[in-house]
Amino acid sequence: MKAACALLLLLFGCRPAPGTAPEPLRVAAAADLSLAFEEIGALYRAETGQSLSLSFGSTGLLAKQISEGGPFDVFAAANVSFVDQVIGAGRCDASTKTMYAVGRVALWSRDPALLPARIEDLKEPRFRRVALANPEHAPYGKAAEEALRAAGIYEELKPRLVYAENVRQAWQFAESGNVEVAFVALSLVRSNAVGEAVAPTGASTPQAAGQGSGGASLVIPTELHRRIDQAMAVCGSDPGRQAAGKRFVELVSSDRGRAIMRRYGFLLPGESLAEIR
């Protein structure tokens, strides 16, 4: 039996046996991509016949897993520095590094009446708990902290901050009512929003809050934090899986993929905020 298995391995390598479906493409992606990548993943499945295994989480923790040998074929990070990290560890291919979006931060509350008119209002006593992703390994959490510092209220608000594992969990804290508001990725609330406003360039605070059936959101001006440049790369060493990973990366960067990313509020390479208002 062992000899037969060895012969099959020599004949087929890592390819699936004839008549069987290919193994799922394993994609590790930042939590802010969960809604957008579910849609793009459906397109990928329809076009290639290959299923996907989408693993969402904190960018920093995913990068650590990949650097330590985590078996992923594509890594889509919420900050380009983490893609550089896994490339430096020899786990992903530098030639496939692709910038795919600029992330945008929003404050979100399930109760529109609880949403502040501007970020500085968070220092009011009615905001007893404010959630954000852990800044140590989550780019959106780091951006939220930077915005609080830029607004001059970080030290005052610090005792009331509640740290989540990732940006999706921060949203869940607010959705459950355990906190009044949360700093989240705009992409996680955009599908329910019907009119969130974006502050004009140079403004210190947003002008208005978007509101939909899924609560209310306030877009944080990008001037209050460093750009969240998001990148992805193909990982692993198997040629067949690398080819499949490249197809997924190309789909995200295609016109169809960009249309989905834009719908979830991402700023795309080559675009400005003025172009998407």
Q: pLDDT for 142-186, tens place per residue?
A: 999 999 999 999 999 999 999 999 999 999 999 999 999 999 999
| All domains in the chain, ordered by first residue | 23-102+227-276 (3.40.190.10), 103-224 (3.40.190.10)
H or E segment to which residue 140 belongs: helix 139-150
pLDDT higher than threshold 50 for residue 87 = yes
Q: pLDDT for 176-199, tens place per residue?
A: 999 999 999 999 997 644 334 333
What pLDDT, on the 0 to 100 scale, is given for residue 192?
Answer: 47
Q: Report d(CA 190, CA 215) in Å as an integer.
A: 11
Mean pLDDT of 98-122: 95
Q: pLDDT for 12-30, tens place per residue?
A: 334 444 444 568 999 999 9
Mean pLDDT of 44-64: 96
Contact 55, 30 (CB under 8 A): no
Q: pLDDT for 197-228, tens place per residue?
A: 333 333 333 333 343 347 999 999 999 999 99
Of 215, 208, 261, the C-alpha closest to 98 is 261
Kindly state the tokens that stand for 130.
């404010």
Token pair 């999706």 is found at: 168
Of 76, 109, 104, 22, the C-alpha closest to 230 is 76
pLDDT higher than threshold 90 for residue 109 = yes
* SS3 of residue 131 by DSSP: strand
Q: pLDDT for 220-264, tens place per residue?
A: 999 999 999 999 999 999 999 999 999 999 999 999 999 999 999
Q: What is the mean pLDDT of the chain?
A: 86
Query: pLDDT class for 273, splitting at 50, 70, 90?
Result: low
What pLDDT, on the 0 to 100 scale, is given for residue 191?
Answer: 60
What pLDDT, on the 0 to 100 scale, is given for residue 243?
Answer: 97
Mean pLDDT of 107-117: 94
Token pair 């076009």 is found at: 47
Angle between the N-to-C axes of helices 34-48 and 255-263, in degrees from 0 to 180, rounded to the nearest 10: 150
What pLDDT, on the 0 to 100 scale, is given for residue 9?
Answer: 35
What pLDDT, on the 0 to 100 scale, is given for residue 145?
Answer: 98
